[in-house]
Structures are given as structure tokens and as C-alpha cells.
């Protein structure tokens, strides 16, 4: 029973999941925020506001990605890391794609 809960190292698998799936997940999350969040893409804002909002969106990708990368080693196995992060990335990107279509 104890062994079933133990964290497997799987360094490469988890690291790669953190890099690739983590990157797309961060972009997806920021994308949802960019569309639906305050001063979003559907709202009328001035050029100056957009200048700063876009920079803000860009800045947010990094902390999200870095936090995913740091905690990816808590997954029990690389398969789990890929399943959860990859799944979440796909869902978030799909939401962004839908928002782009609908709004």
C-alpha cells in the first residue's frame, strides 16, 4: 500500500510535461483571462490601456509556467503528469479557441 502512493522519480517525463504541457496550459489560462477578464479583448479600451494590458498578459505567462514546472515533480508518475497537465492544456486551449470563435 505504501509503495502505491510513493512518488516515482521519472525526471525526464515529468520535466518535459512541465515544459511542454505546462507552457500550453499557461498560455491557455492567460488566454481565458485575456478574453474574459477585466479590460478584456471584447471591451472597448484605449490604445494606451491595451498597451499595458497586453504587457500584463504576457508577464503572467511566466509565473504560471514556472509554478507548474516547480510542482510537476509532485505527480506520482510521468504518465499522471502528462495526463493532468496535457489534459488541462487541451481544455484551456479549446476554451480559448471557442472564445475566439464566439466573441
Partner 1 sequence: MKIRADVLRTYQSVHTWTGISAGLLLFIGFFAGALTMFGSEIDDWATPPHYQMNQIQPAQQDTLLELVFTQYPETLNNVTINYEPDSSPIYWYGQGSARGFSLDDTMWHGTLDEQGELVTALRHVNELSMLVDYLHRSAGIIGEVGHDQAGVYILGIAAFLYFIALISGLIFLLPSLVKSFFALRKEKGANRFWLDSHNLVGVASFPFHIIIAITVVVFSFHDLFYGGLSQVYGDKPLFGGEEQHPEIRYELSELPSLNEIHTKVAQYAPGFSVSSINFRGLTGAHPSASISIVNDKSLMRGPHTDFIFMNPYTLEIDTSSVTNGNGQQGVWGAVVTTFFGLHFGSYGGELGRWLYFIMGLGGAFLFYSGNLIWLEKRRKKQSTEQSKSSHFMANLTVGVCLGCAMGIAGAFAASKWIMLIDVNINIAYMWVYYALFFASILTAFGYGAARFSIIGLYGFAALCLMVPITSLLGLIPQMPLWTPSSTADYGVEIAAIGFAVASILAAKKVQQRVYEGAQNSIWYCPKYTSERTCKRLA
> What grid cell was written down for 26?
499557461
Determine which residue in the list 61, 83, 88, 90 makes contact with partner 1, applying CB under 8 A: 61
Under the binding rule (CB under 8 A), the answer on residue 6 touching partner 1 is yes
Under the binding rule (CB under 8 A), the answer on residue 62 touching partner 1 is yes
C-alpha span between 20 and 25 (Å, rounded) = 9
C-alpha span between 56 and 8 (Å, rounded) = 37
Under the binding rule (CB under 8 A), the answer on residue 43 touching partner 1 is no
C-alpha span between 7 and 3 (Å, rounded) = 9
Residue 91 Cβ vs partner 1, minimum distance, rounded to whole Å? 14
Under the binding rule (CB under 8 A), the answer on residue 54 touching partner 1 is yes
Amino acid at each position: 500500500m505504501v509503495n502505491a502512493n510513493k512518488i516515482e522519480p521519472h525526471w525526464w517525463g515529468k520535466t518535459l510535461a512541465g515544459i511542454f504541457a505546462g507552457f500550453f496550459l499557461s498560455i491557455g489560462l492567460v488566454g481565458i483571462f485575456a478574453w474574459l477578464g477585466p479590460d478584456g479583448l471584447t471591451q472597448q479600451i484605449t490604445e494606451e490601456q491595451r498597451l499595458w494590458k497586453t504587457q500584463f498578459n504576457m508577464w503572467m505567462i511566466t509565473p504560471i509556467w514556472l509554478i507548474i514546472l516547480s510542482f510537476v515533480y509532485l505527480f506520482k508518475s510521468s504518465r499522471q503528469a502528462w495526463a493532468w497537465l496535457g489534459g488541462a492544456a487541451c481544455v484551456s486551449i479549446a476554451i480559448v479557441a471557442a472564445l475566439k470563435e464566439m466573441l
